[in-house]
Structure 1
Amino acid sequence: MKNILISGGTGFVGKHITDLLTTDQYKVFILTRNAMHKPKQENVAYVEWLTPQSMPEKNLPKIDAVINLAGESINGRWTDDKKQKILNSRLKATESLLDLAKKLPEPPSVWINASAIGYYGTSEKEVFTEQTTRHGSDFLAEVVKAWEIKASEAKTLGCRTVFTRFGLILGSGGGVLPKLSLPYRFFAGGTVGSGEQWVSWVHVEDVSRLIKETLLNDKYAGPVNVTAPGPVTMKEFGQVTGDVMHRPHWLPAPALAFKLLFGEMSMLILKGQQVLPEKAMNLDFSFKYPHLKGALHDLLQ
């Protein structure tokens, strides 16, 4: 395996996986609407995509694997228009990528599609693994279900297809951690909502490492939970954050305030699910940051 095609490669996760793959001497081709004026990086090529004049298939060598990360950010108030963009962007980008794969002289052997643990819906009591087949009924669950159904069409091309169901990704250069840790910087941190909601988190470095593992290990197929093996409650998440930052954990953030501020999107923080990466653990994947305290020490200090 040598040439990797990535959509959404300039985003938070895309940049990390690109860095990891290029360090290991893979050649990464990043699909983008604007291939001009991109930062030069060894073993990285930008290929124009989703424009009227683009013909990416003419500018690509044999592609061994596809990593599809493209989609509208879920950050922001979920108006009806925003919800439509979140869903449509994922389905249209995946459809376009499938069409591109069909035009290549030889289809990729592996298709890794971003997904989310939102598939399972929310619960304070259930424990979800890849063996859980029932999906939730909220907006995010429906988006993830539709996205995985569309991406599963890659199987008809002969691709080993993986759905990487991301948990709450923690990183210093993006994701939700800067927002969650901000109150602690001003000595105003505390439990968010009830504090009993589960946070199934994962360090962004482990996200990249597990994606690479799914590229190379053909035992990975279907859904793969990309979460650390040590989920915590929101109360514990806040307490560990305060401890790592040497700040008090004392000022509660009521659920009503979050609902007024973020609307329906507040469910990402106020509700949760306890998700375990059973498949990765059974295949002996070694998490660099299995515990929250170690992850936050790396990211916040």
Structure 2
Amino acid sequence: MRRILISGGSGFVGNAITQLFTASNDEVFILTRGEKKSNHPKIKYVQWMNGNNAAEQELPQIDAVINLAGETINGRWTSEKKQAILNSRLKATEELLSIVKKMDTPPRVWINASAIGYYGTSQSKVFTEAEETHGTDFLAEVVKAWETKAKEASSIGCRTVITRFGLILGKDGGVLPQLTLPYRFFAGGTVGSGNQWVSWIHIDDVARLMKETFDNEGYSGPVNAASPNPVTMKEFGEIIGGVLKRPHWLPAPSFMFKLVFGEMSMLILKGQQVLPEKAMDNGFTFKYPNLKRALQDLLQ
């Protein structure tokens, strides 16, 4: 039995990871700011970042740390929102590093969330983990700062993995419910130019890949958590329409998204073609390698 410590464990991705580890008879310790209790024998909540809590005193020997904590990027990116997105990630990672430094024996691995936003946007380039140049937009700068802070875990003896998430598709979280809503009302169509790349991944494969990076010591550094088969936004919409048996006919111009979401609209209107080279090189098998199969699982 292994013991996993998760920050941000109550969120969309955290829930999926927790379920996968507990199904393997591992124990999961979830850091939380409020008082929570679990009825699951393999899950325990531990308070942190709330007054004078000393989380390390409530923890046994930990085998892996998974850091997911941070302000959601959803919502209009005001100056205050941007500051919260950045500061929350850096503060939580700093606190988690402090906890780990106080442990008698450091965890074997530190797995940190990140995003393919690191690479910036492009319609022509294909990005793998070998890409060293990061983008210059807001999200790329946030991701770069977050990864730099997380890499400090390597100096305290942890094998450090940075999982760069693509667009995560799930039933109960992420952006899929918003993207499918127009189709359910027979008003779906191409968003923006339709030529922008969507590098996506099923939530089950996110959890499986993160667990794989713990189980397989061959993983370190950045790991792209994205399907090996990215699609254009036009293809994405057409496949949604096909799976839901709805027409794909009413375009959604870029200016509409920019008007509603402001700068955050770049997450949909721009994109990048990202391949999971490290996962493929390590023999990882995606359960949902193509979009149609993933959406059939999630939408039918």
* Superposition TM-score tier, normalisation by shorter sequence: over 0.9
Query: Unpaired segments of 5 or more residues in structure 2?
Result: none
Asked if residue 121 in structure 1 is aligned to residue 120 in structure 2, the reply is yes
Q: Deviation at 1:234?
A: 0.1
Number of residues paired by the alignment?
Answer: 300
Q: Deviation at 1:52?
A: 1.1
Q: What SS does the corresponding residue of 2:45 show, helix, strand or coil?
A: strand
2:245 aligns with: 246
Q: Deviation at 1:35?
A: 2.7
Cα shift readout 1:154-198 (whole Å, capped 9, x = no counterpart)? 001110000000000000010000000000000000000000000
TM-score by length of 1: 0.99
2:258 aligns with: 259
Q: Is the 8 A contact 1:25 1:43 kept in 2?
A: yes
Inter-partner Cα distance in structure 1 for 2:166 and 2:6 = 20
Q: Which amino acid in 1 is paired with 2:244?
A: M
Q: How does 1:218-257 map to 2 (within 5 A)?
A: 218-257=217-256
Moved over 4 A (4+): none
Inter-partner Cα distance in structure 1 for 2:35 and 2:293 = 38
2:6 aligns with: 6
Inter-partner Cα distance in structure 2 for 1:20 and 1:55 = 27
Q: Which amino acid in 1 is paired with 2:26?
A: Y
Q: Deviation at 1:106?
A: 1.0
Cα shift readout 1:95-127 (whole Å, capped 9, x = no counterpart)? 000000011111111000000000000000000
Q: How does 1:10-29 map to 2 (within 5 A)?
A: 10-29=10-29
Q: Deviation at 1:39?
A: 4.2
Q: Is the 8 A contact 1:22 1:42 kept in 2?
A: no
Q: What SS does the corresponding residue of 2:192 show, helix, strand or coil?
A: coil
Q: Larger deviation: 162-171 or 52-61?
A: 52-61
Cα shift readout 1:21-67 (whole Å, capped 9, x = no counterpart)? 0011000000000133x442230000000011211111000001100
Inter-partner Cα distance in structure 2 for 1:35 and 1:100 = 19
Q: Is the 8 A contact 1:6 1:29 kept in 2?
A: yes
Inter-partner Cα distance in structure 1 for 2:47 and 2:78 = 30
Inter-partner Cα distance in structure 2 for 1:96 and 1:39 = 23
Q: Is the 8 A contact 2:38 2:44 kept in 1?
A: no
1:62 aligns with: 61
Asked if residue 269 in structure 1 is aligned to residue 233 in structure 2, the reply is no
Q: Is the 8 A contact 1:172 1:299 kept in 2?
A: yes
1:134 aligns with: 133
Inter-partner Cα distance in structure 1 for 2:299 and 2:62 = 37
Q: What SS does the corresponding residue of 2:208 show, helix, strand or coil?
A: helix
1:204 aligns with: 203
Inter-partner Cα distance in structure 2 for 1:178 and 1:126 = 29
Cα shift readout 1:227-257 (whole Å, capped 9, x = no counterpart)? 0000000000000000000000000000000
Inter-partner Cα distance in structure 2 for 1:261 and 1:213 = 38
Inter-partner Cα distance in structure 2 for 1:249 and 1:42 = 46
1:30 aligns with: 30
Query: Unpaired segments of 5 or more residues in structure 1?
Result: none
Q: Which amino acid in 1 is paired with 2:42?
A: N
Q: Which amino acid in 2 is paired with 1:238?
A: G
Q: Which amino acid in 1 is paired with 2:3?
A: N
Q: Which amino acid in 2 is paired with 1:221?
A: S
Q: How does 1:96-115 map to 2 (within 5 A)?
A: 96-115=95-114
1:167 aligns with: 166
Q: What RMSD over aligned residues (CA atoms) do the two structures have, in Å?
A: 0.7
